[in-house]
Amino acid sequence: MTATPQRRDPRIVIVGAGMAGIAVAHVLKQSGFNDFTILEKGSDVGGVWHWNRYPGLRCDVPSYGYQFAFAPKPDWKHVWATGDEIQRYHRDLVDTLNLDGYRYYHSTRGELLNRLSRTDEAKAAYAKALELTESEPERQFLLQRLR
């Protein structure tokens, strides 16, 4: 009798909560994946629309073309939306899609690696790699991760 392998959903990390990060999170949820984390370096969603704040900031393409097909916004105030309006669109969409619980603000790649390296699975992988490596710098790196 052959054992049936257990299905294991992947753990997924989305780096950034700009347009692409929001879209990926939405598609993952729609596809039934819920074990994901969105890491955002800033204090809010929106990517460049969160980071860029200067007078007269506007999108360089018409607003109707700069939105998600799954979340059309028929009431843009201007053909060339302002940065604030686009930022608000992203913030409202994240709220509507209930994505806030999947996100860590002020997260960097280093913080992610530290979090991930503390899991039992990661420690087991580091220990196995330590057994196999002959490189002293690599050994030191792996030993540091196992602490």
- pLDDT tens per residue, range 40-77: 888 889 989 988 989 999 999 999 988 999 999 999 99
Q: Is the pLDDT of residue 82 over 90?
A: yes
Residues 113 and 89 in one domain: no
Tens-digit pLDDT profile for residues 85-141: 999 999 999 999 999 888 777 666 556 556 655 666 666 666 666 676 677 777 776
Q: Mapping DSSP to helix (H, G, I), strand (E, B) and coil, where does residue 137 land? A: helix
Q: Is the pLDDT of residue 11 over 90?
A: no
Residues 86 and 19 in one domain: yes
Q: How many domains does the chain have?
A: 2
Give the pLDDT confidence score for residue 128 in this predicted structure.
65
Alpha carbon distance 16, 47 (integer Å): 7
Q: Please, which residues bridge with residue 125 across strands?
A: none
Domain that residue 53 falls in = 12-107
Q: Mapping DSSP to helix (H, G, I), strand (E, B) and coil, where does residue 82 land? A: strand
Residues 143 and 103 in one domain: no
Give the pLDDT confidence score for residue 60 in this predicted structure.
93
Distances (CA, A) of 40 to 43, 82, 90: 7, 22, 14
Task: Spell out the residues 6+ positions from residue 134 whose beta carbon is closer than 8 angstroms to its own.
Answer: none
Q: Is residue 103 part of a domain?
A: yes
Q: Mapping DSSP to helix (H, G, I), strand (E, B) and coil, where does residue 15 land? A: strand
Residues 79 and 132 in one domain: no
Residues 121 and 98 in one domain: no
Residues 66 and 116 in one domain: no
Q: Is residue 48 part of a domain?
A: yes
Cβ neighbours around 147 below 10 Å, total: 7
Alpha carbon distance 78, 82 (integer Å): 8
Q: How far is CA 5 from the centre of its chain?
A: 29
Residues 75 and 115 in one domain: no
Q: Is the pLDDT of residue 9 over 60?
A: no
Q: Is residue 77 part of a domain?
A: yes
Q: Are 40 and 104 in contact (CB under 8 A)?
A: yes
Q: Is residue 130 part of a domain?
A: yes
Residues 83 and 131 in one domain: no
Residues 83 and 118 in one domain: no
Q: How many CA atoms lie within 13 A of 134 on its CB side?
A: 0
The CATH number of residue 102's host domain is 3.50.50.60
